[in-house]
Structure 1
């Protein structure tokens, strides 16, 4: 015996309502507004990776506000314990800082804020000054990576393991030229002056700046992170 038409309709309506409700609960959690509340019981029933809400501290919320005020588009990420001592706490995914950037993953909010400012107020003016054109892309080797320090002897974790570092490898100009750390650091005078100006500017914005003169492991990139208290090499 078939299911009556009116019963089929009721089943369909119920299924649609359930789907809509699950979509609401399954959406990425918006950045907290300072209330510090945990997710509701219904939200906690969702399958979850080891993560907790981010941006609940006053400092993190101020950082997110600063990014918004600067016109930076970003997505806040849940706090993650990746295991092995590696974490992503109060991190963001940068979507638009005014210049396209390759390979960006999770970045702590302070790192993202300073990186966006460096791109806006150091990279762009320096390209105009030394090459008479615009930078249309910043190339990086990435941000988060659960590993130790490259070229170090201490066995200490890299700041990349905490989403607190970014490695910048080069720049693409509007006329098609690529100014890379590998070659450019010791290349023509304009490339040398451009890259050294960016290194110097980085030293004013980041806690640690390492470049090709630091060691062989950094011959092809700038390492920027928010630790170190002004260590610049």
Structure 2
């Protein structure tokens, strides 16, 4: 059973916010165990963020609200959280805009894990990513190369693979075009599930820059490939 949202003292809150983490990484780094953390309440900056906090708490997910940061050049982190426990460890994720975090937890909980169980006969025990926040422009698209990526606003995450309870390691790089019909079906289903939840979903079919991950973001509009 996931932990329930509980208020904490102002002193603890200040301590947690002072140690906030923003960058995205590519090293395997499992999320903290459920028993080690409590969701921390922080003063949300707007109604949308307050609602997002409530939605994450209602789902039983553990998260840490992060203070807004402006890094210059259009790179900023606002209304972000760090997910601590969503029922399965996730590597690489740090600062995420709360709306993206809300969609991400729903996708893993109601899309990815059920698909793995139903199609592959084994639950997901680890989700692997290449990170969230990175102050950089869009890559792999010449017409948009001068524009900031949604990663520069902590509004995107790159998902690279999944580890199953039976030991199998499913990755976008090696399994997107696999000859294994069940794994191929799993990839199709979770990609379609992502397209229903996120504004943008880019797979290896989009361009060479995405050969090894799904880029998913909440940047507005709708594009899925």
TM-score, normalisation: structure 2: 0.81
Higher relative contact order (CA 8 A, sep 6+): 2
What is the SS of the residue equivalent to 1:193?
helix
User: Is 1:157 the counterpart of 2:148 in the alignment?
Assistant: yes
Equivalent position of 1:96 in the other structure: 85
Q: How far 1:27 moved relative to its partner?
A: 2.7
User: Is 1:168 the counterpart of 2:180 in the alignment?
Assistant: no
Equivalent position of 2:221 in the other structure: 229
Q: 2 CA distance for matches of 1:106 and 1:164?
A: 9
Uncovered stretches (5+) of structure 1, i.e. residues with no partner: 1-22, 33-54
Q: How far 1:230 moved relative to its partner?
A: 1.9
Equivalent position of 2:176 in the other structure: 185
| 1:72-127 C-alpha deviation (Å, 9 max, x unpaired) | 10000000001221000000000001111000010000000000000000011110
Q: 1 CA distance for matches of 2:13 and 2:45?
A: 20
Equivalent position of 1:42 in the other structure: none
Q: How far 1:168 moved relative to its partner?
A: 0.3
* Aligned pair partner of 2:42 in 5, 20, 31: 31
Change (3 A) 1:105 1:24: closer
What is the SS of the residue equivalent to 2:129?
strand
Q: 2 CA distance for matches of 1:198 and 1:69?
A: 24
Change (3 A) 1:24 1:204: closer
Uncovered stretches (5+) of structure 2, i.e. residues with no partner: 1-10, 18-40
Structure number with larger C-alpha Rg? 1
Change (3 A) 1:79 1:215: same
What is the SS of the residue equivalent to 1:104?
coil
Q: 2 CA distance for matches of 1:146 and 1:73?
A: 26
What is the SS of the residue equivalent to 1:138?
strand
Equivalent position of 1:124 in the other structure: 113
What is the SS of the residue equivalent to 1:81?
strand
Q: How far 1:24 moved relative to its partner?
A: 7.3
What is the SS of the residue equivalent to 1:151?
coil
Q: 2 CA distance for matches of 1:25 and 1:132?
A: 41
* Contact in 1 for aligned 2:13/2:42 (Cα 8 Å): no
What is the SS of the residue equivalent to 2:160?
strand
Q: 2 CA distance for matches of 1:24 and 1:89?
A: 21
Q: 1 CA distance for matches of 2:173 and 2:188?
A: 13
Equivalent position of 2:201 in the other structure: 209
Equivalent position of 1:200 in the other structure: 192
Equivalent position of 1:70 in the other structure: 59
Q: 1 CA distance for matches of 2:118 and 2:16?
A: 42
* Cα-Cα RMSD: 1.4
